[in-house]
């Protein structure tokens, strides 16, 4: 296995990371106790097979993990998994264009991410509660955006 890109939960008790533990070349998102133990698959199966899922990021409260994934071949979307004691629920937040590298706002309600639409590339923000997405910067190439801890949300 190749376990890469670990990210600690805000309380330091869990890790979210990418791995090829399913035996495919495509990464999946897992969560496990920081001190070791069993890793739980977080990313969903698409069409009864594993897809490509990457770039996990914990919400400030630690209850959610955002990541991007290929829902259709070559099209990436932002997804959020609710991490619970009895399983996960995955919600797709974006539906248009390509969307990658989500980063949580300090308010725990918004995600910033890089995206591409028919009109070009840009920086976007999505409200996790309503699903509303808006472009905040257009016409530029963005790489792995991060939200400043001192700023609020949307």
In a domain, 23, yes or no: yes
pLDDT at 46 over 70: no
Range of the domain at 75: 3-102
Structure confidence by residue, pLDDT tens digits, 53-110? 899 999 999 999 999 998 777 789 999 999 875 556 888 999 999 999 999 999 999 9
In a domain, 41, yes or no: yes
Q: Tokens in use for 59?
A: 């919400």
| String of DSSP letters for 44-111 | PEETTEE--EEEEEE-TTSSEEEEEEEEETTEEEEEEEEEETTEEEEEE---SSEEEEEEE-TTSSEE
Strand partners, 133: 126
Structural domains in the chain (count)? 1
In a domain, 14, yes or no: yes
For 22-34, b/e burial (b = at least 16 CB within 10 A) is beeebbbbbbbee
In a domain, 16, yes or no: yes
In a domain, 152, yes or no: no
CATH number of the domain to which 71 belongs: 2.120.10.30
**Binning pLDDT at 50, 70 and 90, where does residue 49 land?**
low
In a domain, 60, yes or no: yes
- Tell which phi-psi region holds residue 62, choosing left (phi > 0), alpha (psi between -120 and 50) or beta: left
In a domain, 59, yes or no: yes
pTM of structure? 0.89
In a domain, 126, yes or no: no
């Amino acid at each position: 296995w190749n376990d890469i890109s670990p990210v600690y939960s805000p309380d330091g008790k869990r890790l979210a990371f990418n791995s090829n533990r399913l035996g495919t070349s495509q990464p999946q998102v897992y969560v496990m106790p920081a001190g070791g133990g069993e890793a739980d698959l977080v990313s969903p199966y698409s069409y009864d097979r594993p897809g490509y899922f990457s770039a996990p990021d914990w919400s400030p409260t630690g209850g959610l993990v955002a990541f991007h994934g290929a829902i259709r071949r070559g099209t990436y979307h932002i997804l959020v998994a609710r991490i619970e004691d009895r399983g996960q629920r995955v919600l797709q937040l974006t539906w248009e264009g390509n969307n990658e590298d989500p980063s949580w706002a300090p308010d725990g309600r918004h995600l910033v991410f890089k995206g591409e639409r028919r009109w070009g590339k840009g920086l976007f923000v999505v409200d996790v509660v309503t699903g509303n997405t808006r472009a905040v910067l257009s016409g530029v190439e963005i790489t792995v955006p991060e939200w400043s801890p001192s700023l609020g949300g949307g």
